């Protein structure tokens, strides 16, 4: 912790003590008011008892000494009672000084009790107060005059006892609350903070990730989410490191491979001038393959960039691209694999032809590799089927095979690089690149569930052409 700053435990302790003291004050205020009201009610009850004794005696038959003794026993200076319109002084010890306050117990509410109790405690001097309360035997009320000082002293004693008791309770309660919050919240927070500091020092180490506890509350949830986030970050950093290493390796290979392909292209140009019919038949395809290989070599590192190059879209026929994909994947030379072409006749798609070729080649090559390792069976022949149709302004292509399908653990990250491969030694780049190219066209690629083997569906919508552009194209046509 920086110097001069409290840690979380210190702040928690400083916050707990005043909150407990505030709670004690809130308890003390009604308690002292209740104590004062009970004392005044005791005086009224004692005065009522004395009034019964004094009123039962014949007039003038109670000696002054006995009246003083009765008043001294109840702690009063005088007792009076009112019946109808007549007020009678039942007993008086000495002529009391002027009354400083009248307290009517018949109409007193909670707020008045609190104000009167604190006013009595804060005053100085030895004044007297008159307490008015209900009288026995149908009289209107009874009045008792008492000294204020004894009541104030009793309230001070009660306050001191409450203060000492509250102070002890405050210390014990604050300590228990502090320990409870420390073990429930502060220690887990310290543990998470220490883990974050350690993970920050080496974020690529999976050993530095949080080990969540078995708590079911919000802190346990935070620990589990933090652990998941750290594991995801470690995996992402490993993937980024893998991509960086791959990019460096590919950039080295790219330099030499591009030169070799350029030399092969020169030889192919010379080969195209040979008059042999078979050479003339295959030379254009060879030249086209070399040109595409050189173009791929130039854009090999494009996956490491933010995005692929923008597609140059136009309406192209799908069937020639499908035939070229079959020849490039080497399926035409494999007699064990049945190629099924179910493309709708004359189907055209609004795409970049080179990018569509790359997408289809990746999917067909994955299907071909999945079928290569499968044993031959007469019941379920090895088959790769490609179908295409148009649904209004949307073109739909489906590439399916009768292979083992995609494992369940690979489906969650199927279109992510280095994570979606279901084949030993595979990188998963083919599906990741295919998905990125299809998204660049505003389309979508998905794995179709519930089919034999694996079936991928590609949906590519046509571009929205402004009306004035369409009119210009028609006028030029």
Question: Per residue in 287-330, pLDDT tens?
Answer: 677 666 666 665 554 544 445 678 888 899 999 999 888 887 77
Averaged pLDDT, 82-105: 75
Q: Can you read off the two tokens belonging to residue 8?
A: 């979380």
Q: Where are the beta strands (DSSP E) in 286-393?
A: 314-317, 337-343, 348-351, 382-391
Check pLDDT > 70 for residue 96. Answer: no
pLDDT tens digit sequence for 12-33: 777 777 777 788 788 888 888 8
Order across the sheet with 337-343: list the strands: 337-343, 382-391, 394-401, 454-461, 444-447
Least confident of 98-102, 257-261, 467-471: 257-261
Residue 370 CB partners (closer than 8 Å, separation 6+):
401, 403, 404, 423, 453, 454
As a whole number of angstroms, the distance between CA 179 and CA 176 comes to 5
First to last CA, the chain: 77
Q: What are phi and psi of 414, to 5 degrees?
A: -65, -40
As a whole number of angstroms, the distance between CA 249 and CA 183 comes to 52
Average pLDDT, the chain: 78
pTM metric for this prediction = 0.45
Share of the chain above pLDDT 90, in %: 8
The DSSP-derived string for 303-330 is GGSSSPPPP--EEEEHHHHHHHHHHHHT
pLDDT tens digit sequence for 437-464: 899 888 999 998 877 888 999 999 988 7
Averaged pLDDT, 333-348: 85
Order across the sheet with 78-83: list the strands: 86-92, 78-83, 141-147, 128-133, 99-104
Reported as a pLDDT band with limits 50, 70 and 90, residue 430 is: confident
Least confident of 54-63, 163-172, 194-203, 377-386: 54-63
User: Are the C-beta atoms of residues 163 and 14 closer than 8 Å to each other?
Assistant: no
Coil vs helix vs strand at 344: coil
């Amino acid at each position: 912790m920086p110097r001069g700053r409290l840690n979380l435990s210190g702040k928690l302790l400083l916050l707990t003590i005043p909150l407990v003291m505030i709670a004690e004050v809130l308890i003390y205020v009604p308690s002292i008011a209740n104590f004062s009201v009970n004392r005044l009610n005791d005086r009224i009850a004692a005065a009522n008892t004395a009034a019964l004794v004094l009123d039962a005696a014949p007039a003038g038959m109670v000696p002054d000494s006995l009246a003083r003794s009765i008043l001294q026993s109840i702690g009063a200076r005088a007792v009076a009672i009112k019946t109808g319109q007549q007020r009678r002084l039942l007993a008086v010890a000495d002529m009391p000084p002027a009354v400083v306050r009248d307290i009517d117990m018949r109409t007193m509410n909670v707020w008045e009790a609190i104000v009167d109790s604190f006013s009595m405690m804060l005053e100085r001097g030895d004044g007297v107060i008159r307490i008015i309360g209900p009288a026995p035997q149908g009289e209107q009320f009874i009045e008792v005059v008492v000294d204020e000082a004894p009541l104030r002293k009793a309230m001070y004693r009660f306050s001191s006892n409450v203060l000492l008791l509250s102070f002890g309770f405050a210390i014990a309660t604050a300590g228990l609350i502090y320990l409870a919050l420390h073990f429930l919240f502060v220690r887990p927070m310290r543990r998470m903070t220490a883990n974050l500091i350690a993970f920050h020092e080496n974020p690529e180490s999976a050993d530095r990730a949080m080990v969540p506890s078995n708590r079911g509350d919000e802190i346990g949830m935070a620990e589990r989410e933090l652990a998941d986030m750290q594991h995801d970050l470690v995996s992402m950093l490993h993937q980024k490191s893998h991509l960086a290493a791959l990019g460096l390796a590919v950039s080295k290979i790219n330099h030499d491979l591009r030169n070799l392909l350029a030399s092969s292209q020169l030889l192919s140009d010379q080969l195209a001038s040979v008059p042999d019919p078979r050479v003339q038949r295959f030379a254009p395809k060879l030249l086209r393959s070399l040109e595409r290989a050189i173009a791929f070599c130039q854009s090999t590192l494009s996956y490491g960039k933010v995005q692929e190059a923008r597609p140059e879209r136009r309406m192209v026929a799908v069937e020639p691209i499908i035939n070229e994909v079959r020849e490039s994947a080497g399926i035409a030379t494999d007699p064990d694999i049945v190629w099924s072409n179910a493309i709708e006749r004359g189907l055209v798609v609004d795409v970049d032809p080179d990018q569509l070729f790359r997408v289809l080649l990746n999917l067909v090559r994955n299907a071909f590799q999945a079928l290569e390792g499968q044993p031959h069976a007469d019941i379920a022949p090895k088959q790769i089927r490609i179908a295409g149709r148009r649904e209004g302004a949307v073109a739909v292509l489906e590439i399916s095979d009768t292979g083992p399908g995609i494992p369940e653990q690979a489906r969650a990250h199927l279109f992510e690089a280095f994570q979606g491969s279901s084949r030993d030694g595979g990188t998963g780049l083919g599906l990741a690149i295919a998905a990125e190219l299809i998204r660049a066209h505003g389309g979508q690629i998905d794995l179709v569930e519930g089919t034999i083997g694996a079936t991928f569906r590609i949906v590519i919508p046509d571009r929205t052409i402004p009306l004035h552009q369409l009119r210009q194209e028609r006028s030029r046509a």
